[in-house]
Chain A
């Protein structure tokens, strides 16, 4: 029962290792992909190019500028001589953002009249624009809050060496007079300060979030593409027919055709994971056995897809196109690049049948957050169901052909 399967597996490996191109596809290409993807697919925004026109030229305006430039996000590309020049900077894509600090900025700031700055953003690349906007506003807001605080401090004139509890019954007639709406017992500014703490990835390295997704892509390519092509190749050669007239059962045939790619996919996953941990310092918080288990369930899906595609394709080209077609949409709607919760509700509902979505979430959870079996179960179950459906459909179609 088992022996014939071993011969099938042995044959498959012989063929794979003998093929020059295949060796490259399996051993070299994935590492190159991992390198390029991991370095390129970064959504951190660094070095936003900002052009600034400072008409005010005071300490206050320079404080604002240095707050921007000293934050990691900005790179000052030009100090424009006039507003027209700022616009030109955006038109020619020399800057992503321009800031104009008009004359009178510091004066308005000092008198509390509300100083204004003009922030223009190049919206043509909305992914940059959106975050550039957010970061710039955040820096300006921080400056604003600083002066708001000092303004409040100044207006309530609490002696700075006194602790708040002793302020409790201190009444300042003058202040009540200037701010008639103030409730008398409040001596003290109501000021909330959020203390932020980032779990799991305190440096907010976007790469850590992307690499687990890249691992998913790599094993998807290996398992779905190669299985599909391996079966279709035998069809093209006529050897599949030869196997069909042999006493091999469909189960043995399927096992012999899929197990080599399960092995390769695990090998690939192990190599790529090790590489990601050693080279990119990707943390692996969760358990490796759990990761292996979830990968097995996912492989049920991809191998099923490969087999299913092979039953509806007569040439390798057809098989490639079909897998490619589904893969593109699978990746797009998996939350790999773009969070699913941002998508329109109808598309969010469609993603329920996307196995990639579940596995990417699982693998991110295991790697970064140390997700346990209970944590991944809500994603593992639907993936298992999809896998069983696809795989049994593939087996059924496969058997039908043999009948």
Chain B
């Protein structure tokens, strides 16, 4: 254990034999994974493969049935509350308050992370600038186009400068241009040292990741850099890799 704690500088997420059962159903089956600091890690898998369950455990909102994991060096089973301080989370629902303005949403999320008012307003200004939302700060969130909401949701989840950012299907329903812009922001965050843990349906997006894992029926059945995986399976796209590894199990 002592060696693990020392490793936290380089290791952002460490998963060992993590398992979660719901009754007899095994949603996450004994997975192992290491994600380094600053890495963009793609967590792929079909619907119901167990991705969301795994992320919920890593975020400290669901207890594991076995195994353990460390996020930003913190034991998710022992100190789930501390984990929450170190992470950011953005889901496909964008979880924004439609009846608050953009800056009110930012202030609120900064506030519940315990940031000082001054810090919140400083960082909000920077973020709005980077997210290209400055002119809309007093607009009601509900009236914004989807792409704007998506950028705002990202902004809300990084205002407290998390060490690890979990993105659960962050680009669902957004047009290609907005998706491209979104990934630019993610690269920016990654360059600043934030670890990105992202699930996605879009296999072209998987290509953007430093490394990916593919999950099926609760297990990780493939892991590696997109280029390596494509080479290994002798195909040209991640889509084909995906079909290759998932299909046999389904049939």
Contacts and interface: CB of A to CB of B under 8 A. Distances in A.
B62 A247 contact: no
B62 A403 contact: yes
Given A238-B91, A246-B84, A15 B99 contact: yes
Given A11-B104, A246-B84, A403-B62, A239 B111 contact: no
Given A245-B61, A247-B84, A238 B111 contact: no
A118 interface: no
Given A4-B111, A245-B60, A246-B84, A18 B99 contact: yes
Given A237-B95, A239-B97, A403-B63, A246 B109 contact: yes
Contacts, number: 75
A55 interface: no
Nearest to A248: B112
Contact of A247 (B93, B94, B114): B114
B93 to A, nearest CB: 3
Interface residues of B, number: 30
Nearest to B115: A3
A11 to B, nearest CB: 5
A107 B241 CA distance: 114
Nearest to B111: A7
Given A245-B60, A245-B89, A4 B112 contact: yes
A239 B97 CA distance: 7
A284 B114 CA distance: 44
A14 interface: yes
Contacts of A244: 61
B136 interface: no
B69 to A, nearest CB: 15
Contacts of B89: 242, 245
Given A7-B107, A238-B91, A243 B97 contact: no
Interface residues of A, number: 25
Contacts of B62: 403
Nearest to B116: A3
Contacts of A7: 107-108, 110-112
B161 to A, nearest CB: 13
Nearest to B92: A238
Contacts of A11: 97, 100, 104, 108
Given A14-B100, A19-B99, A403-B62, A242 B91 contact: yes
Nearest to A402: B61
Contacts of A402: 61
Contacts of B99: 14-15, 18-19
A18 B114 CA distance: 25
Contacts of A239: 95-97
Contacts of A10: 108, 111
Interface of A: 3-4, 6-8, 10-11, 14-15, 18-19, 237-239, 241-249, 402-403
17 contacts: A8-B112, A10-B108, A11-B97, A11-B100, A11-B108, A14-B99, A238-B95, A239-B97, A241-B91, A242-B89, A242-B95, A242-B109, A242-B156, A245-B84, A245-B89, A247-B112, A403-B61
